[in-house]
Amino acid sequence: MTQVLAAGSPIPLRYHKEVIRYTLDKTALVALGDNLTANVLLGNLPAKSRILRALLQTKTAVAGVTAMTVAIGTNSASYNNMLVAADVKAAANTLYGDALTEIGAALQNLSGSYIDFIPSLTVDTAIYALLTVTTEKLKDITAGEFDMLVEYETLP
């Protein structure tokens, strides 16, 4: 027997999650040059993308600079509305973005619960990481590697 959906009946849709993964290692960090900050384009999400989470995982702690943070977002200038500035000088294999205190305002509601974020229904959205060192320059980094991940799904 074949089922036919009547006009106006819901049609079940299947979403699949996708992940942007961007890795920066010592060579790539040093190549960012004689700067205290750098904006790194992680990728462009298509219109109607629903961002589920942003994560940062240190593989090797950054060395050679006094302090370094990484934030992820879509809001220009601070790029921190998905992941607030995380210390990549912390120990290796540290994960950021798995606690409410680490996620940006776009991914939590006023009561502090996780929510999804749809930046635009009509245009593609650029996702950036903001890298910041406080005293030395990015070219002074002597070690470090970390992954930045953005998990999303695109609505029909």
pLDDT in tens, 112-155: 788 888 999 999 999 999 999 998 999 999 999 999 999 999 98
- Nearest to 19, CA basis, from 113, 108, 101, 97: 97
The predicted pLDDT at position 2 comes to 47
The predicted pLDDT at position 1 comes to 43
The predicted pLDDT at position 8 comes to 59
**Mean pLDDT, residues 100-109:** 90
In this prediction, residue 47 has a pLDDT band, given cuts at 50, 70 and 90, of: very high
The predicted pLDDT at position 10 comes to 61
CATH of domain 18-154: 2.60.120
Provide the token pair at 122.
Answer: 């009509």
In this prediction, residue 5 has a pLDDT band, given cuts at 50, 70 and 90, of: low
pTM over 0.85: yes
β-bridge partners, 66:
none
**Mean pLDDT, residues 2-11:** 55
What is the b/e burial string over 27-55, where b = at least 16 CB atoms within 10 angstroms of the residue's CB?
A: eebbebeeeeebebebbebeebbbbbbbb
**Mean pLDDT, residues 24-45:** 95
Provide the token pair at 140.
Answer: 């002074």
pLDDT in tens, 66-104: 999 999 999 988 999 999 999 999 889 999 999 989 999
